[in-house]
């Protein structure tokens, strides 16, 4: 997982093109990967997945108030869904549910969208333990990158990942991101302040598109 700051750090202004949107599918060894806006009815599957994968997910996620059970219960989802939808409608973020063959497999968010001369945002994502290592996160990130550099009109994306999280580092690198440096003691994760690598990508670095690069390299294929 690549982790942005928490939801309170969203900044930006105005409405932007490109949300709501459905992206994909892109075919991988795990199946057809797609992105769509979160739905209120995702609550049960989201909670079931998050509670089941606590050990896998919690060690990478920012420290938050309340227990894991409380934050990821079915009752917690409506407020999260409403907040994400509000951010999307206000042009502050692009929140997506990752699906594989139509089944919820994680989440991806492009946040801190800034317009004007910067035209940038960060990207964060998580996938279920069952879908890890099957190219799902890589396909989801590639779909999001092309959407951001196309209809959304951004120029730059960045992501922050702990150095220990090798699978997530590989996801970013396969999508064209380059390491720009280290943010020391950047986020409170799992009860301590953790260093994070910062990765960046600009539209000039993926002239053919991130999806096309995956297809050319044989990592995914179009339906």
Architecture of domain 7-216: 3-Layer(aba) Sandwich (3.40)
Verdict on whether the full-model pTM lies above 0.75: yes
Residue 64 scores a pLDDT above 90: no
Per-residue pLDDT at 1 = 58
Under the banding of pLDDT at 50, 70 and 90, the label for residue 191 is confident
133-186 pLDDT tens trace: 889 999 999 999 999 999 999 999 999 999 999 999 999 999 999 999 999 999
Per-residue pLDDT at 2 = 58
Phi, psi of 53 (to 5 degrees): -100, 25
Mean pLDDT for all residues in the chain? 91
107-132 pLDDT tens trace: 999 999 998 999 999 999 999 999 99
Per-residue pLDDT at 14 = 42
Residue 95 scores a pLDDT above 70: yes
Per-residue pLDDT at 65 = 87
Domains of the chain by residue range: 7-216
Residue 13 scores a pLDDT above 90: no
Under the banding of pLDDT at 50, 70 and 90, the label for residue 99 is very high
Per-residue pLDDT at 16 = 61
CB 140 within 8 A of CB 125: yes
Residue 6 scores a pLDDT above 90: no
Query: HEC string of the chain?
Result: CECCCCHHHCCCCCCCCCCCCCEEEEEECCEEEEEECCCHHHHHHHHHHHHHCHHHHHCCCECCCCCHHHHCCHHHHHHHHHHHHHHHHCCCCEEEEEEECCEEEEEEEEEEEECCCCCEEEEEEEECHHHCCCCHHHHHHHHHHHHHHCCCCCCEEEEEECCCCHHHHHHHHHCCCEEEEEEEEEEEECCEEEEEEEEEEEHHHCCCCHHHHHHHCCCCECC
């Amino acid at each position: 997982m690549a982790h942005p700051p928490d939801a309170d750090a969203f900044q930006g202004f105005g409405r932007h093109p490109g949300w709501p949107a459905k992206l994909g599918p892109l075919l991988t060894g795990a199946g057809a990967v797609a992105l769509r806006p979160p739905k209120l009815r995702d609550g049960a599957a989201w909670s079931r997945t998050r509670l089941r994968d606590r050990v896998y997910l919690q060690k990478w996620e920012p420290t938050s108030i309340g227990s894991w059970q409380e934050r990821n219960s079915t009752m917690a989802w409506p407020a999260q869904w409403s907040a994400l939808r509000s951010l999307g409608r206000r042009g502050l973020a692009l929140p997506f549910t990752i699906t594989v063959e139509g089944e919820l497999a994680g989440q991806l968010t492009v946040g801190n969208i800034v317009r004007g001369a910067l035209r940038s945002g960060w990207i964060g994502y998580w996938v279920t333990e069952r879908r890890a290592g099957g190219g799902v996160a890589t396909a989801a990130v590639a779909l999001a990158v092309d959407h951001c550099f196309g209809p959304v009109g951004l120029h730059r994306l960045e992501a922050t990942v702990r150095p220990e999280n090798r699978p997530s580092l590989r996801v970013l690198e396969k999508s064209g991101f380059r390491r720009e440096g280290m943010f020391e003691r950047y986020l409170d994760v799992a009860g301590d302040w953790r260093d994070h690598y910062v990765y960046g990508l600009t539209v000039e670095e993926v002239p053919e598109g991130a999806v096309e690069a995956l297809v050319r390299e044989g990592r995914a294929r179009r339906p």
